[in-house]
Every structure is written in structure tokens, then in C-alpha cells.
Amino acid sequence: MESGSLFVQTVNGIATVEFFHPASNSLPSGLLDRLAKAFNELSEDKTVKVVVLKSEKERAFCAGASLAELLAIDNPIDGVAFFSGFGKVVNAMRNCKKPIIGRVQGKTVGGGVGIAAACDYVFATEQASIKLSEISIGIGPFVVEPIIRRKIGVAAVGELALDPEHWKNAYWAKEKGLYAKVLESLSEVDKEVQIFAEKLASYSPDAVQHLKRVLWESTEHFDTLIAERAQICGHLVLSDTTKKALEKFRK
């Protein structure tokens, strides 16, 4: 379980992608690679009309980057490679021909916020608070920032990123456009996700795919931009400030 798990199942045209990691659903590089591969494959799978992304358990949706891997990085090449993993996932989601419905059941941090933003429509529980904590450890949410900014705007990204120690609640995230709907309980969210996915799967696949392409217009440069941002993070993670902050956080 150190590398986490990924489960993909398709029923009646609805593919469910469910990931898990014992450390609050954080994402080590191996799991990031598997997520990106899953979205790329589902994009080309003609039996799939809609994708639902979720994580296991009932608490955190995603704690972002793997703390253990961040601490282990000791050279720029490995640093860039790790942060590129998040870039591969959000770009695979952006390029996926099928609409992606996010099911966010709990707190979400850093790269996890980017993954939620890369979904096309998100249902969340009232417990689904968000935080961009990167600047407090000497890095920055640079890789996922373009994806998040597209959803909630520059001002809201700044409000999150410059205040890294405080959570924004689910209703703040809905007001800014990250979440489409916020519901009281996880059971309500699961019910609504299923109803919405079934309706979306009943529409013309060609029309839905064209609509997704339109909604993501003007993001074609994200592949290059996010790769450049990974270079920034890959070097910043080696600083003494960051290493000390990560050690303190681990303790």
C-alpha cells in the first residue's frame, strides 16, 4: 500500500476511477503515473462516455504530493520528474475526450486542488475544504496553478496561495467556481453523481466531446507551461528552507 492503489471500472458507459493512499490519499509518483495512464486510455475507449473521479474512504479527498517522496528528492532531475507527475495527470484530464465528474468528499490540499480543478464538473460535501499550502514550505502551487486559475480566477488563486495556512470551506470553493454543487452528506453526493453521470452518458457522445473541447479552448499551451512550472518546483524543493520545513511538518 506504500504506492497506493488505483481501481478503474466501467458500467453502462460510466467509468469510475478511484484512487487511494493510506497517507490521506496523497499522491506518490507511481500513483500519479497510473492516474495519467488511466485518463489517457479512457479517452480512447469507445465504450466510455463519462468518467467519474473519486478517492477512497470518507475523509481527505487528496492530500497532494507525497511527503515521503518530497523529502527524498536530492537532485533537480528527480525534483522535476516528481512535479511533472502532477502535470501529466492534469494535462491527461484536460485532454481526455470524455467529461470528468469529480466527487470530492473531504479536505483537499495543493496538487489535489489542481486535480479537482481539472475535472469538468464537481460535486462536493460540506467537509470539502481546500488549501494551497506550498508557499509555506518554500515551493509554490506552480504546476497546478494554470488549471486552478482557469476555474476560479487570478484573485481567488492569490487568496489561496498567499494564505497557505488557512482552509477555505466548500461554499467558498463553490462560489469561486471550483465546485458545481455542495451537498451535506457523502451519500447525497454519491446519489447526485450517479444521476448526473447517467444523464450525461445519455447525450450524444459527439456533442459532449465537442462541448468539452470548447470549454477547454485556449489551454493548448498548458503542456509547455506546466512543464516549465515543474522546472521551478524541481529546483525549489532542494532549498534548505524547503527541506527544513518538510522535516518540521513530518515531525
CB within 8 Å of 88: residues ≥ 6 apart: 32, 33, 36
pLDDT digits (tens, 9 = 90+) for 194-238: 999 999 999 999 999 999 999 999 999 999 999 999 999 999 999
pLDDT digits (tens, 9 = 90+) for 6-43: 999 999 999 999 999 999 999 999 999 999 999 999 99
- Residue of 28, 19, 26, 230 lying closest to 139 (CA atoms): 230
Residue 247 has pLDDT above 90, yes or no: no
Residue 1 has pLDDT above 70, yes or no: no
SS3 165: coil
Q: Band the pLDDT of 59: cuts 50, 70, 90.
A: confident
Instruction: Please provide the distance, in angstroms rounded to a whole number, between the alpha carbons at the two ends of the chain.
Output: 22
pLDDT, residue 142, reads 96
Average pLDDT over residues 115-130: 98
Instruction: Read off the pTM.
Output: 0.95
Alpha-carbon dihedral 206, 32, 137, 148, rounded to 10 degrees? 0
Question: What would be the CATH architecture of the domain defined by 5-202?
Answer: Alpha-Beta Complex (3.90)
Cα separation of 127 and 73, whole Å?
32
Residue 105 has pLDDT above 90, yes or no: yes
Q: Band the pLDDT of 248: cuts 50, 70, 90.
A: confident
**% of residues, the chain, pLDDT over 90:** 88
- Residue of 212, 249, 190 lying closest to 71 (CA atoms): 249
**Does the CA dihedral 191-206-114-10 come out positive or negative?**
positive
pLDDT, residue 251, reads 66
Residue 182 has pLDDT above 90, yes or no: yes
pLDDT, residue 244, reads 86
